[in-house]
């Protein structure tokens, strides 16, 4: 079966285009739009599983009738020149909202837009939802750094963010298992690491350190639907159950909440053995948002 995924660029007024991947339903206008936002040091390809296309969020979403756009966030891909501006996550919100508005205009009719964010991309999705943009009907987030262990906090504070990209201390260098979970879940992905990952713009690093203080306040102000996933083998933030409990305690204004733990997965949910099941749950959440609108 041929892939539905193609390269794309979009102009959002930043002086350089944003790049990414897009998948459209094969036989009908889209019923809704998913905009997927990768984490720090990743690429848009994060959402298009290189070792198992049946686990790709773009392929699954398009075949279920959704247009799926996986962006290279500002400072990544075609817009790497923006790294010199040291953009914070909040600075990226207008660009994402413009992508959403542009996609709806192209469809030609009003359809719901759901942001799907991982890690730093999840912080961006939360910032956008808290801003109350009418273009967004819901967000689905994972890998959100709502809490850190003492060692993890030391690791973040030791990072060198003086240049355009972040450099981490060797003493605190994370292992492959920290990002992917149990070994049998990531070996097939490693051959594609250059397509999936890159360096992290240094402008984003303060957002990581401030997330445990800032994100709960933002979560409490979100009124749209929220799906919140945490990993059972999380090693880059506090354990998944701890993060999940913080999220539940603060999502007090949301019209709909789906909070759950993916027990067998590591931080990078969309690249592990559980990726297809996780993405199907994201699509089920999107369907609930569509039904509500």
Render pLDDT for 27-37 as a digit per residue (tens, 0 to 9): 889 999 999 99
pLDDT digits (tens, 9 = 90+) for 3-15: 999 999 999 999 9
**Residue ranges per domain, the chain?**
5-292
- Mean pLDDT score, 57-77: 98
pLDDT digits (tens, 9 = 90+) for 89-101: 999 999 999 999 9
- Mean pLDDT score, 62-80: 97
C-alpha to C-alpha distance for 226 and 198, rounded to whole angstroms? 28
Q: What residues have CB less than 8 Å from 240, skipping those under 6 apart?
A: 230, 231, 232, 233, 234, 261, 262
CB 71 within 8 A of CB 105: no
pLDDT digits (tens, 9 = 90+) for 44-56: 999 999 989 999 9
Q: Report the mean per-residue pLDDT for the chain.
A: 92
> According to the model, what pLDDT value does residue 171 have?
46
> According to the model, what pLDDT value does residue 174 have?
57
Is the pTM higher than 0.75? The answer reads yes
Q: Is the dihedral of CA 142, 147, 149, 151 positive or negative?
A: positive
> According to the model, what pLDDT value does residue 175 have?
65
Select 5-292's CATH number: 3.40.50.1820, 1.10.3720.10, 1.25.40.10, 3.30.2350.10: 3.40.50.1820
pLDDT digits (tens, 9 = 90+) for 174-189: 566 677 777 766 777 8
- Mean pLDDT score, 213-227: 98
> According to the model, what pLDDT value does residue 172 have?
44
Long-range contacts of 274-278 (CB under 8 A, 24+ apart): 274/185, 275/49, 275/52, 275/55, 276/52, 276/54, 276/55, 276/60, 278/142, 278/229
pLDDT digits (tens, 9 = 90+) for 126-174: 999 999 988 899 999 999 999 999 988 888 777 777 788 777 655 444 5
- Of the chain, the percentage scoring pLDDT greater than 70 comes to 96
> Which phi and psi (to 5°) does residue 5 adopt?
-95, 135
């Amino acid at each position: 079966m041929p892939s539905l995924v193609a390269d794309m660029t979009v102009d959002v007024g930043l002086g350089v285009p944003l790049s990414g991947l897009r998948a459209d339903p094969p036989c009908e206008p889209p019923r809704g739009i998913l905009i997927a936002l990768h984490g720090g040091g990743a690429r848009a390809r994060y959402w298009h599983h290189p070792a198992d296309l049946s686990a790709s969020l773009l392929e699954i979403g398009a075949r279920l009738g959704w247009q799926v756009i996986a962006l290279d966030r500002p400072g990544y891909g075609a817009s790497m020149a923006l790294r010199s501006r040291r953009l914070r996550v909040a600075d990226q919100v207008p660009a994402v909202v413009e992508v959403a508005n542009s996609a709806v205009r192209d469809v030609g009719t009003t359809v719901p837009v759901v942001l799907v964010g991982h890690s730093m991309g999840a912080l961006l999705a939360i910032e956008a939802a808290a801003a109350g943009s009418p273009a967004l009907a819901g967000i689905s987030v994972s890998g959100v750094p709502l809490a850190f262990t003492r060692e993890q906090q030391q690791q973040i504070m030791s990072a060198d963010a003086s240049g355009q990209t972040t450099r981490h201390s060797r003493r605190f260098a994370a292992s492959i298992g920290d990002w992917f979970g149990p070994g049998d879940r990531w070996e097939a992905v490693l051959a594609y690491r250059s397509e999936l990952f890159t360096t992290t713009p240094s402008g984003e690093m303060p957002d990581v350190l401030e997330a445990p203080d800032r994100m709960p306040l933002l979560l409490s102000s979100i009124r749209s639907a929220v799906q919140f996933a945490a990993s059972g083998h999380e090693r880059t933030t506090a354990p998944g159950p701890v993060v999940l409990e913080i999220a539940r305690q603060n999502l007090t204004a949301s019209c709909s909440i789906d909070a759950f733990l993916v027990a067998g997965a590591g931080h990078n949910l969309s690249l592990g053995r559980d990726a297809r099941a996780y993405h199907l749950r994201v699509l089920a959440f999107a369907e609930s948002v569509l039904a509500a609108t």
